[in-house]
């Protein structure tokens, strides 16, 4: 492309570092980042290796519209330092790494979100992550917990369920936890220095390169974690389990929630398949089987199962099902 003096005159021009999408793209357009605003218009900016200008390629836009140079995020993601680069450093970075770039009429580009400068954070971030496979490993329920802090303040906690059965292990759950934590931090706090703590020696040492990744099941997860880590200023440190209590507790909460939900689903199914005599008593209360009293307002029952475990029993589900059908 022809060269020119970079400028950013007043008015409604974009800024270097702004996230944009192509207004003319269909479906779900890829995001790009403005890396240069040359002092040129579409009629004078020639496309590299062609004898045509940006205006020739964009007849629906004014030939006097200013030109913006962009690089799409997938290309930028191959360069680990771009997320914490100053906007003024983007164009030199593109040239240094020979990244593909494209010239557009500025009016064709729609800003999305904030600028790169607005997304850059410098306060240190801390991540704790943990995963579990219960009640058996492998093949149990895979869950995870993550804690993200900015300085001394916890800014994000998350627990999640991965799945059950073949292919689920403690190590898989640990990696899923780490990927979830890195994805959140990269999206919300790009540019911030990050320290990651985990009690899995395998995961931490594979990320630091001390251990090889030989498992076909773990390699894609390791690649995802490594790719995200390359976009952050990150250090990995192993800690004993007692120093990772909150993330561990979140992963266990996810397990209990999942198994409790499975138990509730079984009770709901038993209620649907089991005939029960139900007698309305008034005020949202019902007698079931001539023995137990269900209070729908309090979601309670006088049966031993409810009184011992505190979970909605099959009698409660049966009354609800009958009410919904009537």
Q: What is the pLDDT of residues 275-317, one digit of tens each?
A: 999 999 988 999 999 999 999 988 899 999 998 887 889 999 9
Residue 308, token pair as written in the block: 């011992």
Q: CATH 3.30.420.10 in the chain: give the residue spans.
A: 125-247
Entry field: residues in the chain:
326
Strands (E), 228-311: 233-238, 278-282, 285-288, 292-295, 300-301
| Rounded distance between C-alpha atoms, residue 69 and residue 4, angstroms | 12
Residue pair 32/71 in contact by the 8 Å Cβ criterion: yes
- CATH 3.10.20.30, domain 125-247, yes or no: no
CA distances from 260 to 94, 263, 268 (A): 52, 5, 12
Rounded to 5, what percent of the chain is helix, strand, coil? 35, 30, 35
- For 114, other C-beta atoms within 10 Å of its C-beta total 12
Residue pair 164/96 in contact by the 8 Å Cβ criterion: no
pTM exceeds 0.85 for this model: no
- For 180, other C-beta atoms within 10 Å of its C-beta total 22
Which region holds residue 129: left if phi is over 0, alpha if psi is between -120 and 50, else beta?
Answer: beta
| Rounded distance between C-alpha atoms, residue 266 and residue 289, angstroms | 20
Mean pLDDT of 4-9: 39
Least confident of 105-119, 141-155, 224-238: 105-119
């Amino acid at each position: 492309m022809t060269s020119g003096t970079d400028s950013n005159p007043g008015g409604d021009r974009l800024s270097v570092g702004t996230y944009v999408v192509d207004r003319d793209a269909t479906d779900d357009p890829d995001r790009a980042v403005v890396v240069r605003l040359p002092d040129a218009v579409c009629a004078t900016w020639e496309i590299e290796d062609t004898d045509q200008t940006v205006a020739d390629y964009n007849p629906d836009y004014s030939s006097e519209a200013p030109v913006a140079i962009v690089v799409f995020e997938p290309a930028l993601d191959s360069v680990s330092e771009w997320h914490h680069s100053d906007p003024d450093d983007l164009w030199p970075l593109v040239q240094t790494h020979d990244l593909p770039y494209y010239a557009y009429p500025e009016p064709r580009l729609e800003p999305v979100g904030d600028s790169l400068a607005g997304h850059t954070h410098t306060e240190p971030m801390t991540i704790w992550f943990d995963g579990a496979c219960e009640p058996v490993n492998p093949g149990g329920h895979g869950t995870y917990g993550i804690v993200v802090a900015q300085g001394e303040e916890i800014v994000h906690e998350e627990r999640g369920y991965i799945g059950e059965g073949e292919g689920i292990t403690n190590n898989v759950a640990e990696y899923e936890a780490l990927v979830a934590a890195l994805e959140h931090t990269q999206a919300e706090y790009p540019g911030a220095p990050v320290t990651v703590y985990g009690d899995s020696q395998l995961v931490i040492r594979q990320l630091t390169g001390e251990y090889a990744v030989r498992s076909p099941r773990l390699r894609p997860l390791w690649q995802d974690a490594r790719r995200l880590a390359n976009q952050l200023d990150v250090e990995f440190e192993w800690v004993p389990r007692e120093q990772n209590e909150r993330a561990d507790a979140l992963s266990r909460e996810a397990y209990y929630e999942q198994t409790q939900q499975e138990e509730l689903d079984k009770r709901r199914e038993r209620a649907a398949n089991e005939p029960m005599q139900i007698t309305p008593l008034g005020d949202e209360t019902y007698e079931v089987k001539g023995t137990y009293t269900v209070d729908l307002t309090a979601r309670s029952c006088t049966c031993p199962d409810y009184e011992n475990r505190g979970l909605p029993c099959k009698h409660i589900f049966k009354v609800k099902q009958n009410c919904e059908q009537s």
